[in-house]
Structure 1
Amino acid sequence: MDQRTQVFLLLIFAPFLVLANHQTGGEDVLGLNSLKALWTNTPASWGTPDPCHNGWDGIGCTNARVVTLTLSSMNLTGTLSGDIQQLSELQILDLSYNKGLTGPLPEEIGSLKKLFNIILVGCSFSGLIPPSIGSLQELVFLSLNSNRFNGKIPSSIGNLSKLYWLDLADNNLEGPIPVSNGGEPGLDMLSHCKHFHLGMNELSGQIPPKLFSSNMSLIHVLFERNKLSGSIPSSLGFVKSLEVVRFDSNMLSGSIPVNLNNLTTVSQLLLSNNKLGGPAPDLTGMIHLQYVDLSNNSFDASDVPPWFSTLESLTTLKMESTQLQGEIPAALFSLPNLQTVVLKNNQLNGILDIGTGDNPQLELIDLQNNLISAYNGGYNGTLILVQNPICTGKSLSYCKISNSADVISYETLSKNCVPSSCTSDQVSSPNCKCAYPYEGTLVFRAPSFSDLENSTRYKELEKKLTDYFLGQQLGDSVSLSNVTKDSLSYLRLSLEVFPYGQDRFSRKEVSNISFQLSNQTFKPQKYFGPFYFIGDDYQHFAVETEVPSESKKSSNVGIIVGAAAGGSVLVLILLLVGVYAIRQKRKAKRATDKNNPFGKWDVNKSSGGIPQLKGARSFTFEELMKFSNNFSEVNDVGSGGYGKVYRGTLPTGQLIAIKRAHKESTQGGYEFKTEIELLSRVHHKNLVSLVGFCFDQGEQMLVYEYVANGTLKDSLSGKSGIRLDWTRRLKIVLGAARGISYLHELCDPPIVHRDIKSTNVLLDNSLTAKVADFGLSKTMDDSGRDHVSTQVKGTMGYLDPEYYMTQRLTEKSDVYGFGVLMLELLTARRPIEQGKYIVREVRIAMDKTKDLYNLHQLLDSALGLGTPLKGFERFVDLAMMCVEEEGANRPTMSEVVKEIETIMQLAGLNPNAESASSSASYEKSSPKHPYSNEAFDYSGGFPASKIDPQ
């Protein structure tokens, strides 16, 4: 080989060598390296050459392009460079809780046209919010709260037609609220936005009447503690979707608009600490009001308004210093949910009649500095009548000031274990394990309750947080403490999340947890109201492998020295380079195919766009052949209309179930796409886990965890050989309900399964229920949150009649199917058997005056009818509520879960036990194939035979 040939080969193969080492788009690498140069404390993984190929922490990629940058609570310091515009495919930007990030947002952020989520909560960014942000037409979530931004709100934000969440609170923003004018956009154009969170700023001027209109979708309007003046516009009364309204601590004047009375869905109304005048407002029509604070305004002197005694949902009434006069009606204190009444500094007089004082929730009545002359009642809570005639010259208990504590003494307790003695840096978790928790503060901006000492609410929140993070295997447990309420009535709680299965979090886990909270993915109970989270820096990340920064330089030096050694050595090097480049090119192609397994996805043929995944593993066809012993007959464990299911074993020893589609399957493409998209982002112990998928060599395969005991139907029919008594059935139905409830209420957007039935509930070795088969599932996005209009699909017998008639799908359609499943658990009969429909049969036979509701002839004998079935009647009542004809009359799945938990307690069972049975405690004969079953599908309104492997 002559020298010219050697040089030619070098020129040919050198570019391939570069491509083999760098798969991420060049502009993305440039942008990220620019950020890295400006930031300190970046993860060690940012020292590797390739962000996508080498897996930089906080970087998510699709097709070798950076689409997510999420690095919250990483203790980053520095500024945000204009070079961020190089990340042209970026969709999510989350740098929250890095207080060391300072300086302005670069104008170039407006170049990232695919951004739909910007979360920069709790940093120290300052300067103006760049007007270019209004060019991000895909933006759905804009959260810049708790920074140091100043200047005006850019009117260009009004161009963001898809915006759902706008949070600019807790900054130094000033000037007027922008509305459209003469071609200039404004916030009034955000007709799809549900959240205006603009409190704790310096906004001034009047509230433009144009800001609100009847075509808006707002549920939260929060403008507390600004400098707004003028009157409250009557246009506010046109926004019928409102739930929380805060204009307190401004300088508003004039009368409260009469048509605010039309806002029947508002539950929290805070207009205190203004200069509002005119007559005291009539709130009679606001029937869902729970928390009302109109204190410190200048209303005309008037008697107590009638609505004091009629708002059944009222928990908190505050109208201090509002010139109220006359007697307080005794009926006020009989409102069933009332917790706090503060009417001090008024002219209330006469006899105070609290009645029998039998309202256990009523904790505080503060009437100091009024004209009350007498008191009747046996009230045992805190009553303050200081500076009333009744207290002249007396030292009674209610004639003394009683200050409520600023800090509520609530702290999460250990769960039936002895707290561990940990090192100085570690903390003992509620499960008594020493660990380094991730900490932060939850801030609730408008809670609808005021009984702050009621620990039940915090326990419910604690349980919901624990279930949420445990379901995703992110957190082992959570702890709440330091409950306080500040001068703005914000409720603050310290939160600790403890790691799952280890003593500390990885960077990815911390970023994931904080994103769930900052992105509002986690939904607390509604009565806590709108919230935000401020995370602390995490100091105890799992040890990362440091990357030697000089390794590549040393390699380059070696090549230069070798090249200089002589022509013979150079020939050898060039030959090696050529061979290496060819091999690396092939390796890069294989890696690209693996990173982009859907490169050959046919959008038209496969019923929809390319699947969007969140972490599912891609298997090659050869790998799955090996794991299943060439799809041998001995590993064939079921078949159906979709295809066959094979048992397999991963190299780790984990058993898997491989669902292989028939190539001629007409439904396979859509179901394949739906299942991998949904199951790749949902994680709960009562949902079957997706291990991965294969889209290779024309094959479509889904890989699940292997669920050894098959379907619930197999056990009810006797095929599996497992005997299910009453207690086991209760535990199984609770597990299934929890899985469905997770889909409805903890997924964002929520998911409707659409095919709840006994063949889609699998039982593992411990008889833990796992909901399976998401091929027909639908997501409920915000644009169609109440329902989705869609072609009717489901299984005959379980199908919601309201959905079938209207084609309007809601979560209540799953509730109906679950109700049928509950009846199937009682009877072990198919929903439709010999022309008889189980729901109708139970309704006809039911007689609540007789034992077991007169259902003896329908019940499965395996229930153990010779022994008392504790909770049976409530179980039947719940099932029949679930199968009500109208969805509005059915409970939600979270309500179903709570009721089943109560039924289990009546039966002497622990609803939080790990499983329905230990693996050794149930009787079982020779099992059948666990994935074999037969059902009927009702797809598109036409019945068709179907054998469904899951």
Structure 2
Amino acid sequence: MSNRSTFLHRNFLNLLTFSFLFLFISFSKANELEALLQFKATLQKSNSNAFDTWTKEYAICNFTGIVCDSNQNVKEINLVGQNLSGTVSFDSICSLESLQKLSLGSNLLFGRISDHLSNCTSLQYLDLGFNSFSGEVPDFSSLSQLKFLNLNGSGFSGLFPWKSLENLTGLTSLSLGDNLFDESQFPLEVLKLEKLQWLYLTNCSIEGKIPEGIGNLTLLENLELSYNNLFGRIPDGITKLTKLYQLELYSNGLTGKIPEGFRNLTSLAYFDVSSNKLEGDISELKFLTQLKSLQLFENQFSGEIPVEFGDFRFLEELSLYTNRFTGPLPVKIGSWAEFKYVDVSENFLTGPIPPDMCKQGKLEELLVLQNKFSGLIPENYVNCSSLIRLRMNNNSLSGIVPRGIWSLPSLSIIDLTFNQFEGPVTLNIGEAKSLAQLYLANNKFSGELPDTISEASSLVAINLSSNQFRGNLPAKLGELQKLSSLHCEYNLFSGIIPDSIGSCVSLNEVNLASNSFTGEIPASLGSLPSLNSLNLSDNKLSGEIPARLSSLKLSLLDLSNNRLVGHIPDSLAISVFNSSFDGNLGLCSDNIRNFRQCSPISGTSRGSRTFIFCFTAGASIIILSLACFIYMKFRYNNQDTSMNRPDSWDMKHYRALSFSEEEILRELKTENLIGKGGSGNVYKVVLHNGKQLAVKHIWKSAYGDGMSFRSGSSILPKGKRYSPEYEAEVTTLSSVRHVNVVKLYCSIMSEDSYLLIYEFLPNGSLWDRLHGSQKIKMDWMVRYQIALGAARGLEYLHHGYDRPVIHRDVKSSNILLDEQMKPRIADFGLARILQVDAARDSTNVIAGTLGYIAPEYAYTSKVNEKSDVYSFGVVLMELVSGKRPVEPEFGENNDIVQWVFSTMRNKDNTVNIVDSSISEALREDAAQVMRIAIHCTARLPALRPNMRMVVQMLEEVEPCKLTGIVVDIETDKGKNQGHVQ
């Protein structure tokens, strides 16, 4: 063959090869493009432009979130935090043969993960964390190249395939925490992953002991096993992990001491073993000079705090509270470290407060309460402008509080109660613009309360009780518009009570008892809308009781031991306040015994008076006999109430009452029955003055008949039994004061009957108005106001107390509506107040109603505030969609939450699931609330907002204010029309 022929032949072959490669690459690119577009088609975006470039007009390698290798093949997909929702098509993704990294974390992805994920055999990095997937985790055995695996907070449940991890020997990071996996022993398969640098197994239902073999993972820099069911000792093997930077074992049941050799962990910066049962001293920690955060609280540690802590240069967070530590705090502590907070409360520490904990100017919280500290507050702290919380109560501190403390600009709480401080509150307290709580009770403070305190405009609570303050209360006290609690009892205050106090519109309780106040009771107190408790006893007050006090809804009133004169207002002259006026010889009342009558009969002869007296007595006997007859007839002829009348009743008042127990009892008859529940009947009672009440009668038969049952650890005899529902309802409602929570007026108990008397709500429940026989047509403005009001009621329960109140049965039938369609949270039969010392802030009793129960109930039985949030999210879905929580159209074993998630694909679909009866102009507003409902019903509790956040979100989507919206109410009695403004 000639040279020319050879040359042409070679060129032909090269051209053929090039053409083949071109066609192959083009075909490959087409396949990759098709795979990416198929992946995109299964997802949706919300407020994101992630897919704007994912079109055929752009090269694949220019797609947002796509990284290509040198051959222009897709190497990485990174779409973290893009607000994507929908199900993931792993069969299309795994057809990308060069794909090494897939990052889809922090989105709203849901559904089950298909087995096609096992085809992604080239993956080295997989991040699916913080999503809302369901079902079990698929087998990972085929992903042998994987180095990074993050499924944290992704919504998975069931059994985790621990066995499949044995093939992933190259893993350096494994994060599986915050999922509702079935309980399992510590997975020994993990101990074979010797290249691990990061292991996060917090809150994934692991139980048993931490194995000694944990020491094999010598490359570990981060180990987190918190919030599981681990017990036993911390294994000695952990002391071999010398590269550890972070070690978290909090909220388990670990016991024993910190192991010897712990000093070897010299790289440790973050150490948290709080909320366990560990004991012994902490001398092993004095060698860990790199520590930044040390959390040992809620254990049983003892001994002294190592003096070496004073030389730690990096320590920022120190929490040692609720242990048994003794001795002093190291005097040099904080001299070098930029402390952010120090909490050594509830120990047995002694000696002075170290002077330098805020030396670096970063300290925000200094909490040393309930110890035995003595001496002065060091002068250095007047320069601590970063300080937000200062709590030194329950110690033996003394001396004068440095002047600059009172005016610290960021300080929110000063709590110095139960010490021996003396001297004045200085004028500069008016500069404390952030101060909300001022607690100085049980000290030796003296002098006058400065007028400038009225300039501390953020004050919510003032407690100055049991001191030696004297002089007048500041005349401008009324400028404190946020003040809700004022306690000045047991001091030497004198002069008049300033009339301006009536301008403190948020006041809930006022106690000025045991002082030397003179003059009249300010009538302005009667204008305080929230005032619930008023104690002015043991003063020198004179004049008449202002009639305006009658308008208050008080649970406590004490005006005893003053110099008051005149008529006791009839609305205050009730049995619950019988002793509230003692020691005022000038008072009179026609209603309270032991007080002289205000209107004696005059202008009649002695004989006439005798006749009137006899006539009155005779008439009283006749009336009493008639009442007894009616009562006996009621007793024997009205058996439908299931109550045999006992000889005595125990009636407890929680608010001022205008009725007696007899008036309640005689109205409990069949014609007044308005509802039946699992625990008893509900009656509507109309009083003689026209006031309407609802009475819940809890059946004794629900808890056994004629038998004692246990309450706590004791056995209550017959005649002193309390049903669980009765205790729960009374405990919760008797202390609640909120416009969106139903009012409990009193309770009545006998040996076989439990009665709760609360306000009557004429429009029934939200369930009735949305789904029941009393269903009405409500436009969005009405529904929105119901949603917001109910949210505010729950917010108060969760955040308005020192301990959150968990309702545990939030549902539309427990949201009652008044005559203006304003909501009240009701039926606290399942509520519990979380115990302060509850290690996990949860209870272990499954309760609630099908369709509203949070998913964690089924797996862990753990109930907390986030469980209420889930249930409230279901209520929001009812309000928006008009559908019940469980409907046949949702499919077998599905509820409204699953239906909403599966139906919603984009913004338009969200609008489409809005109730068709809602006007077109407001449907987008309703759709916004549906999005809030989706947040509330996140499968993982940690991803749900708290109720305070829910209220804020609802307030942000308030629809345009409209008036004159008609609410058509259809009842069995016909059609009525009302107007909601």
Is TM (by shorter chain) over 0.5? no
Name the TM-score class by shorter chain.
0.3 to 0.5
> What TM-score results when the alignment is normalised by the length of structure 1?
0.45
TM-score between the two structures when normalised by the length of structure 2: 0.43
- Rg: which structure is higher? 2
**Greater relative contact order: 1 or 2 (C-alpha under 8 angstroms, separation 6 or more)?**
1
